[in-house]
Chain A
């Protein structure tokens, strides 16, 4: 993907969450957003996902500018797959129906076709035996994998993960990260907000460190994570690596 963010600003009330974000990346498959809580990572991801309207600035994705008007945003959201930290799935629908719902109702696939696509992905993720279960009957890791399955089923041009493993215990975290890594190997493009530095290092081509609503620095993971240039970067990494 090609991602261009210019002078992006966003405030909630009198609290500025994004202050003049600038990024310019070409031919990047995986962008990891890291940084302290409240630094603006999730908000930036949500702007790219078309879920949040910035106060100012431009986002250009693969040479197409995102128009921040509801009608255009709605179309944009159909072309990306977003996975949140938790509560992605609809509790009244089975795992299978959770995947077929957007395929049928948003992307106009026939019932049969939607089912075929969903089952194909479930088989691939080894979740077929859970197809008829409702989310409450699944583990946290299974739920996130179903959410990822739903996100990729629509063949998005970009996947967006907002701390997909933050609500999971280590074992489940591993099963979810494995799926994400597999998608990475397939060459899918995604942006990932994460606290898992080791994982960021493994999958990301580019890492951006956000703090105080600004991009403190960005570049290849080896540079940002092993040899940060900024004081904020050094402090942040020292803090998380301590424990």
Chain B
């Protein structure tokens, strides 16, 4: 009886841990088993669903057009990488403008953020490309796409950055002022190093969204990943076969970002 109880308890320990124990790293075996089970569960759900609709896979349509997928994927990587950089710069500028002593800047930043966040990206892209782009004779679709996407993400990023800056207590600013740091030095040596912990998780989420949102640029016929995949789907009448590499293609880009920020969060950690 006691032996049975002991076995039951050790089985239970494979799957359950108290909150206190979770603060320390778990044994690798326990992690592996639980991750495996989670994957198994999801796979079963997938297999079951597809078996119910009795779908016949036709992978030739994908493999025959693999070039289009690769081209599209690389374009998406390019657009995302450039937009990621620009949107962070724009977000930083908008966040600083929002805190500026010059009131017109404050108002501009507020209008920018509220308009971008309050309207669909789809509308911004069509409007930006067909109206603004045409008016200023910008025909480079890549340039228009990157600009629109950067301004779109920049609005969200500025709010994330502003939240991070405002999380720093007034006493820190007072200490910085008392020791004679300039405004710029205060941001650089005191505010940002502390705010980065608050900013990073939100920023990672935003970067992942940005990569996925770049798919909307397909409506102005930029040959990025989604646009090309849809072309293939149209040519071969094979929706599902096209969606699988699409999902993987985006996941391959977003997952590293998520892992990277987690490690950054650990590295910038300090107790308060």
Contact = CB atoms under 8 A, between A and B. Distances in A.
B175 A88 contact: yes
A136 interface: yes
Interface in A72-121: 74, 77-78, 82, 84, 86-92, 101-102, 105-107
Interface residues of B, number: 21
Nearest to B195: A92
The prevalent SS among residues of A at the interface is loop
Contacts of A11: none
B193 to A, nearest CB: 5
Interface size class of A (residues with CB under 8 A): 20 to 34
A94 B271 CA distance: 11
A79 to B, nearest CB: 9
A77 B177 contact: yes
Nearest to A162: B178
A157 to B, nearest CB: 13
B171 A102 contact: no
B174 A92 contact: no
Interface in B179-216: 179-182, 185, 189-190, 193-194
Contacts of A137: 271
A51 B174 CA distance: 8
Nearest to A90: B190
A89 B175 CA distance: 7
Interface string A137-161: 1000000000000100010000000
Given A87-B175, A134-B270, A92 B182 contact: no
B178 A136 contact: no
Interface of B: 169, 171-172, 174-182, 185, 189-190, 193-194, 268, 270-272
